Structure 1
Amino acid sequence: MSRAFVKEPDGDQAVPELPDRVHSPHVNYVTPAGLRLLQESVERLLARRKALGGDPSAGNKKDLMRVDRDLRYCEERVRRAVLIDPAGQPKDEVHFGAVVEAATTDGRRMTFAIVGEDEADAAEGKVSWVSPLARAVAEARVGDTVVWKRPAGEVELTIVAIR
């Protein structure tokens, strides 16, 4: 069969399909703040989609595809969210939502919060509950020493405080 009369997309019309963003295989535990961040992302993406007009013919097909993909991802993350309120967690052990203060063997101190994957931000001292650091301190109590296995080598941490 001849392809002579099949319309090929023009250079500026050809937009490759964007694959969906991959979801984590882990349960989507979220703090109240993490759930708010996800919901705000959905609202921001809906506003962006509206601003684009929802019309792929207006030369913004690629932007619209990206917004739609990210919107599907965020809506699914909200749908899968399992809200854990840190206020309801025990304070005598490290659990999801805890703020942990720990000391290394050379006396350096670090403080971090254990949060959901979407809320994690190392620069803000927020680590994902599935991270090696969070797993190392999980269920530890004040005074316990744990081993944090990192690619750069193991570090012993003593739990100083749990909030």
Structure 2
Amino acid sequence: MSKAFTKETDAEIEEVEDDTPSPQPTGTKNYITPRGFRALQDELRQLRRVERPKVVETVAWAAGNGDRSENGDYIYGKKRLREIDKRIRFLLKRLEIAEVVEPSQQKNRSQVFFGATVTYADEDDIERTVRIVGIDEADTARGEVSWISPVARALLKAREGDVVELRTPAGPQSIEVVAIDYEDG
């Protein structure tokens, strides 16, 4: 039987929604920088005010064309609408539990804390720079790592000149903190 003719129960819908793993360890706070918080708000606003209304308009138009079972615009539109609604729910939950931390307000700038930009050298004297940010804003391509990542956990609370142990799949590796910076404003 076609899925179009079956009715999903609330339990099946709940099961699908709860199937998505949370990127955050249980019992931890959702720390985020002000820039990351604004980015999530902007994405939510874009989905609610621009994307969702366009898809709803397309689905309404497609539904008016008659036979929905073979109507690609209708089928794809409904699927896209579910994806958008799921992302909106996710963003609302993440924003609700977010704890905004302003890195420029850090008093102890000689130690690595959330929001710090850290330059470190590995055992081969190769220097890398990372910025420790929230789970929802980590982007390794831009040198931003989540505060729960192995490298961030190794660096947290270290000072310039400290040698800390980074646990990698290949085994432990020593890294030395070269510089710590907190961006202003």
Which residue matches 1:103?
121
Can you list the C-alpha shifts for 1:70-90, whole angstroms capped at 9, x where unaligned?
000011111111000000112
Using the size of structure 1 for normalisation, the TM-score is 0.85
Residue segments in structure 2 that go unaligned for 5+ positions in a row: 64-73
Q: How does 1:1-163 map to 2 (within 5 A)?
A: 10=2, 18-20=16-18, 21-23=20-22, 24=24, 25=26, 26-46=28-48, 47-53=50-56, 58=63, 59=74, 60-89=77-106, 90-163=108-181
Q: Which contiguous aligned blocks of 4+ residues in structure 1 show a shift greater than 4 angstroms?
A: 10-18, 54-57
Q: Distance in 2 between matches of 1:81 and 1:158?
A: 31
CA distance in 2: counterparts of 1:15 and 1:133, whole angstroms: 47
Per-residue CA deviation, residues 81-107 of structure 1 (Å, 9 max, x unaligned), is 100000011211000000000011221
State the Cα deviation string for residues 7-62 of structure 1 (Å, max 9, x = none).
x6x45677985535433233110001110111111012112111112786641211
Aligned length: 155
Q: CA RMSD in A?
A: 2.2
Deviates most, 138-147 or 46-55: 46-55
Output the TM-score relative to the length of structure 2. Answer: 0.76
Q: Greater share of helix residues, 1 or 2? A: 2
- CA shift at 1:153, angstroms? 2.4
State the identity as a percent: 37
The gaps in structure 1 that reach 5 residues or longer are 1-7
